Amino acid sequence: MEYFGKEFRVSVNVPTWDVLAAHVRDRLRARDGFALATLNMDHLVKLAGSAEFRAAYAAQDFVVADGNPIVWTSRIARKPVDLIPGSDSILPLAQIAASEGVKVALVGSTDDTLAAAKRHMEQQVPGLQLVTLISPDYGFDPKGDAARDVFEKLNAADIGLCFVALGAPKQEVFAAQGRTHAPGIGFVCIGAGLDFFAGAQERAPKWVRRVAMEWAWRMVTSPRRLVPRYAQCLAILPGQILHALSQRSGKEGAV
């Protein structure tokens, strides 16, 4: 399923949880690294305005749908994909890593959040080898010397799977850099997932998520930050719907 913007096209190339699990298991078993991004409407807005972000997305091996508008437009195009939020992927992917005997790292957020997230993950995933926690300094450059130091630490620790919680676009840029500097590691971009585990942020209740209203919950709890963001997302939604309709009719070049 393809989405578009000024100077870019990006596709969700992993349609279901089962396909994602199979890809990750195969890569971890072979110690063949990867970069995984979770596409949402905010990313589409950012992609239109950042050549660096577009380059980072082009380097992602796997792209999943993180956001109901992405899922809804895929259905309009008759190319349906599952909703796979980064925060919901952490424990299932950690379970795969544990079953394969692969060491895991967390990069991003704060020391306290990482420590609390580690406790939660180890409680939920028996046998998990979560051996490395790295909280980069403020102003961390995902393409700079500090990032290369992080990659060196991950390689030295024999990490196979790394969850990256730096926020977009830093986490996607970091994951893309990892394909060069740590090619045996799988990098998964997870946004605020670790904050939810640690209680640093409160996630919408399950019933809110079931009715696809998590965006409204988040907007009410953080209006100053999210109202402008969601307004930008809403502005590009009609174009994505038209593009989905063009894919449905087999006329992708029409938009």
**pTM of structure:** 0.91
| Residue 181 pLDDT grade (very low, low, confident, very high; cuts 50, 70, 90) | very high
> Distance (Å, rounded) from C-alpha 178 to C-alpha 173?
9
Q: How far is CA 19 from CA 84, 150, 173, 241, in A?
A: 11, 30, 24, 25
Asked whether the predicted pLDDT for residue 193 surpasses 90, the reply is: no
Q: What value does the mean pLDDT of the chain take?
A: 90
Q: Where are the domains of the chain?
A: 2-192+199-254
Q: How large is the average pLDDT for residues 11-33?
A: 97
Q: Strands 2-5, 8-11: parallel, antiparallel or unpaired by DSSP?
A: antiparallel
- Angle at CA of residue 63, ends 206 and 85, nearest 5°: 10
Asked whether the predicted pLDDT for residue 219 surpasses 60, the reply is: no
Two tokens, residue 253: 């070049």
Q: How large is the average pLDDT for residues 155-177?
A: 97
* Spatial contact of 136 and 146, defined as CB atoms under 8 Å apart: yes
> Distance (Å, rounded) from C-alpha 187 to C-alpha 183?
10
Q: How large is the average pLDDT for residues 215-227?
A: 63
What pLDDT digit, counting tens, does each position of 59-88 carry?
999 999 998 999 999 999 999 999 999 989
Q: Which of 66-70, 128-132, 133-137, 190-194 has the lowest mean pLDDT?
A: 190-194
Q: Which amino acid appears at position 87 of this protein?
A: S
Residue 231: per-residue pLDDT: 87
What share of the chain in percent tops pLDDT 70? 87
- 76 by Cβ neighbours in 10 Å (0-12 / 13-18 / 19+) ranks as middle
> Distance (Å, rounded) from C-alpha 84 to C-alpha 189?
12
**Cβ neighbour number for residue 176 with a 10 Å cutoff:** 25
Residue 252: per-residue pLDDT: 47
What pLDDT digit, counting tens, does each position of 73-131 carry?
999 999 999 999 998 999 999 999 999 999 999 999 999 999 999 999 999 999 999 99
Torsion 83-237-49-247 (CA) sign: positive
Report which of 153, 16, 196, 26 is spatially closest to residue 99, judged by C-alpha positions. 26
| Residue 243 pLDDT grade (very low, low, confident, very high; cuts 50, 70, 90) | very high
Residue 248: per-residue pLDDT: 83
Q: Strands 159-165, 186-189: parallel, antiparallel or unpaired by DSSP?
A: parallel
225 - beta bridge partners?
none
Residue 198: per-residue pLDDT: 80
Tokens 């990006």 belong to 10
| 3-class DSSP assignment, residue 15 | coil
> Distance (Å, rounded) from C-alpha 241 to C-alpha 51?
24
Asked whether the predicted pLDDT for residue 186 surpasses 80, the reply is: yes
Asked whether the predicted pLDDT for residue 253 surpasses 60, the reply is: no
> Distance (Å, rounded) from C-alpha 135 to C-alpha 226?
25
